[in-house]
Structure 1
Amino acid sequence: MPARILIVEDEALVAMELRFVLEDLGYEVVGTAADSAAALKIAKETEVDLALVDIHLSDGPTGVTIGRELAVDHKVAVLFMTANPGMVRNGVVGAIGVLSKPTEERIVQDAVAYALDLRSGAVRNMAPPQLQLFEDGPRA
């Protein structure tokens, strides 16, 4: 069964491109959410393995709160993808780390593989150097 991924991104073109990349890699995108309410609704209704979360969403800078809630309350692996990585430089409880946007498809592929490995407890891949890991994030 392919890993189930939630995209939390308010820019429709970015979300669509990310969906295509992830589906081409064989993952199941369970949904895209442009705001916190939609993200939480999907997480409550669907099993999610990994969430890729932007910080600034259509309802404001709610991504940090959503990422923390997904990681802690819903046990979802969380990677932030944002043009503002400084907003999470001190880390977010339960989240793995942050990728700066824009980024390359290969970096997304490597970061997703790493995050899913961490979630499963079988780390086979190294974190890409572009992925800033949080000190208090989950460990294998």
Structure 2
Amino acid sequence: MPRLTTESFGSGNMSWVGSEHAINNARTAMLDISAFTANTHYPDGYIPSGTAVAEVDDLLVPYVATEGTVTGAGILAGFVLTDQKVVGTSDFPVPLFDHGRVKTANLPIAFTKPAAAAKLSATTIVFV
């Protein structure tokens, strides 16, 4: 008998999304899984929906919220739209929410809208 496994798929908790339009228009971007830490960024085996990311060398990495950091990982590229299961160590494509409305209180990791305009220059997000 072959070894069969059952796996459930879902979009995750998307209560942080405040505009339907952007869901249908998320762009695809490659996630650099080596930049994320298993115990910190995906302790349950997946990158959660609403994870803030930056884009460095055409790859998504964890966003650095430190206000003085306004280059590289310090520029918000958007949020991972749906839960993304991590399998192995290869980079993989994810849907990137980079415009629309975001309910910051509902994000999986505490997030405060950056004060520096340079940190938001890659997005057209309204934080509510």
Whether TM exceeds 0.5 here: the answer is: no
TM-score, with structure 2 as normaliser: 0.34
User: Which has the larger share of helix?
Assistant: 1
TM-score, with structure 1 as normaliser: 0.32
